[in-house]
């Protein structure tokens, strides 16, 4: 799943759940893990280089399936 697809899917869940705090937090996490120009996870590269999807995004995608 691309970042844009994941972003839209989580955003839709947030809206469908009447903007629940849980989905808002997941949505914020997805925003933080956006890939940069090199295709690496933006947040995770602060520590070390991690290609997108990082483990956090993989876990979110797994739970959405």
Contact assessment for residue 42 and residue 56, using Cβ atoms and an 8 Å cutoff: no
Distance CA 44, CA 35 (A): 10
SS3 64: helix
In tens, the pLDDT along 30-59 reads 999 999 888 898 888 776 778 889 999 999
Q: Which domain holds residue 48?
A: 3-64
Bridge partners of residue 51, in order along the sequence:
40
With contact defined as beta carbons under 8 Å apart, do 30 and 41 qualify?
Answer: no
Mean pLDDT of 21-32: 92
Q: At what angle do helices 55-64 and 3-16 cross, to 10 degrees?
A: 50
Residue 15, SS3 per DSSP: helix
Count: domains in the chain: 1
Decide: pTM greater than 0.75: yes
């Amino acid at each position: 799943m691309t970042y844009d697809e994941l972003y839209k899917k989580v955003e839709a869940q947030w809206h469908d759940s009447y903007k629940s705090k849980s989905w808002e937090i997941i949505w914020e996490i997805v925003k933080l893990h956006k890939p940069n120009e090199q295709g690496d996870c933006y947040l995770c590269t602060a520590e070390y280089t991690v290609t997108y999807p990082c483990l956090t995004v993989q876990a979110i995608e797994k739970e959405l399936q």
